[in-house]
Amino acid sequence: MQIQSADPAAMANFYADTLDMSSRRLDSGDWLLEGPQRRVLVTSGADRALGFAAFACRDPHGLAAIRARVTAESAEILPSPSPLFGSDAFAVKDPDGNCIVFGLGQSETPRKGVRGPLQHLTLATRDPEAIERFYVGTLGFATSDYVRDETGRIMACWMRSNHEHHTLACFRKSVPGIDHHSYEAGDWSVIKDWCDRMGDRRIPIMWGPGRHGPGNNLFIFIEDPDRNWIEISAELEVVHDRAAQVWPHEEHTVNLWGRGILRQ
């Protein structure tokens, strides 16, 4: 993913040190942060704005299938803005104007470093119904879980593009943009290692540890210097095939262990 920032150098320093990533400046001026199975680009712009989100397909066949589906759905195919993909990559715009890129991974990520692949992006949107229609209907994601309010409106929605419970999610919120992005630590003991790393750096855990209802994943949240929310997660549900479930709009849904942050 590419995140915009008014101070990209400060963001690059934070991600390099806190999230155990190497940092280098590209010819484009973007900062590239790399760790094992995680890459983040930081570019100049408005704080907390999404430049683009990128999904790496496993093989050329999968990439071609998504392109064919997007074409069949009459959505516009745009050039990929990512310097990390090849010429076969392409982009689409979702109903909120978020730029979503699909391509094939071009190179290995570093092998050394604390475990935590970049696993999902959660959007904030005023129109979750339109977001779900686009990602499921146009792109072919599958919905794993909903939160609905008492009138039936979607308040949150988790969608998958592989066996993981969600790779893209959204919350209904008055200000659209990024809600958070998440790194998957795999198991609880690795989250503990991340917490110790944050403690050494005097970075407070702003939410958690807790366990989400939808996805059943353990989590902690921290903030970066621009106040983007960063999640570190483990034990995310593996979904092979099941109907989407509906959860109530209450704190317990988003944290089975205690205080929940309901978006507004």
Q: Which residues bind Fe ion (CB under 5 A)?
A: 122, 182, 231
Our CB check for Fe ion shows the closer of 70 and 123 to be 123
Nearer Cβ to Fe ion (85/194): 194
Q: What separation in angstroms does the CA of 196 have from each of 123, 141, 204, 241? A: 28, 35, 11, 36
| Closer residue to Fe ion (CB): 51 or 208 | 208
**Nearest to Fe ion by Cβ — which residue?**
182
Q: Minimal distance in Å, beta carbon 234 to Fe ion?
A: 12
Q: Using CA atoms, how far apart are residues 45 and 31, in angstroms rounded to an integer?
A: 13
Which of 205, 201, 200 shows the shortest CA–CA distance to 221?
Answer: 205
Q: Which is nearer to Fe ion, 145 or 231 (CB)?
A: 231
Shortest Å, Cβ 124 to Fe ion: 12
| Nearest-approach distance from CB 229 to Fe ion, in angstroms | 9
- Long-range (24+ apart) CB contacts under 8 A made by 194-203 are 194/114, 194/116, 194/220, 194/232, 195/220, 197/18, 197/20, 197/114, 198/18, 198/222, 201/17, 201/18, 203/18
If the CB atoms of residues 30 and 231 are measured against Fe ion, the closer one turns out to be 231
Write down the least CB distance from residue 173 to Fe ion, Å.
14
Sign of dihedral through CA atoms 57, 132, 245, 261?
positive
Q: What is the C-alpha to C-alpha distance for residues 110 and 21, in angstroms, rounded to an integer? A: 9
Task: Give the number of other CB atoms < 10 A from CB of residue 163.
Answer: 12
Q: Minimum CB separation from Fe ion for residue 231, in Å?
A: 5
Looking at the Cβ atoms of 88 and 96, the one nearer to Fe ion is 96
User: To the nearest whole angstrom, how small is the minimum distance from the Cβ of residue 36 to Fe ion?
Assistant: 19
Tell me which residue of 221, 180, 232, 225 sits closest to 8, measured CA to CA. 225
Cβ atoms within 10 Å, residue 204: 9
